[in-house]
Amino acid sequence: MSSIDRDGVSIHYEASGSGPAILLSHGYGATSQMWAGQRELLSANHRLIVWDMRGHGLTDSPEDPSCYCEAETVADMAAILDAESINDAVIGGLSLGGYMSLAFHVAHPQRTRALMLFDTGPGYNNPKAREGWNTGMAIPRAEALERDGLAALGGSEEVRVSTHRSAEGLARAARGMLAQFDNRIIQSLTSIDKPTLVLVGENDEPFLAGTDYMANKIPGSTKVVVPSAGHAANIDNPPDFNDAVASFLSALPSP
């Protein structure tokens, strides 16, 4: 296990294997523990890096709400690559982690070798849709954590395999990282010129439309639907998920 310090905030990550780098980001309410079923496969021929976002897992939960935002998350990702002396990587993630992977590409296209977007969406063009997400999802999540503590996370698969230290940190992450504030990311899709895997569990109904949208907007993207899987496709059906990822990685040009 390793960590970096960014302005007094300790960011936890784990790196294993050698070869071209892969950086995986977890979903909201999960941690790097959710990738346990992929570590052996991906570290066999790659330098695999998994990490905990602010407010999650073993990463610190600063009290300042301004420490939780897209920009800080992307900066954490870049700092981890710097700590590992990695110039570029395959950038991937599930749900919030997939959204942040798209945000990383917007900020650092030259450091993004390819993208892997799992059970995620690109945000919203429509301001009313963003407001609906914030008032119907992000803010209620934060309020429930502030009121009920870690019990408010529920028992979804990716949450069940994860351990957290701070309900308050998760609440601040919901307000600053899960919430949507603009349409920069969804507007970036047509300009993506990197190999991109867009994957979704067949039963992940809230994200099926977003997956289709991204697959249609990102030039040359590869779409995969994982059978018998919900939102945590990598946990629900590891064999088919792993096969899809391995096939995508094997087709990438040599770095």
**Percentage of residues in the chain with pLDDT exceeding 70?**
100
β-sheet with 112-118: strand ranges across: 2-6, 9-16, 47-51, 21-25, 89-94, 112-118, 196-201, 222-226
What pTM did the predictor assign? 0.97
The pLDDT tens digits of the residues spanning 200-252 come to 999 999 999 999 999 999 999 999 999 999 999 999 999 999 999 999 999 99
Q: Which CATH architecture has domain 2-250?
A: 3-Layer(aba) Sandwich (3.40)
Is the pLDDT at 1 greater than 80, yes or no? Answer: no
The domain segmentation of the chain, as residue ranges, is: 2-250
Q: Distance between CA atoms of 192 and 201, rounded to whole angstroms?
A: 23
Q: Distance between CA atoms of 232 and 94, rounded to whole angstroms?
A: 8
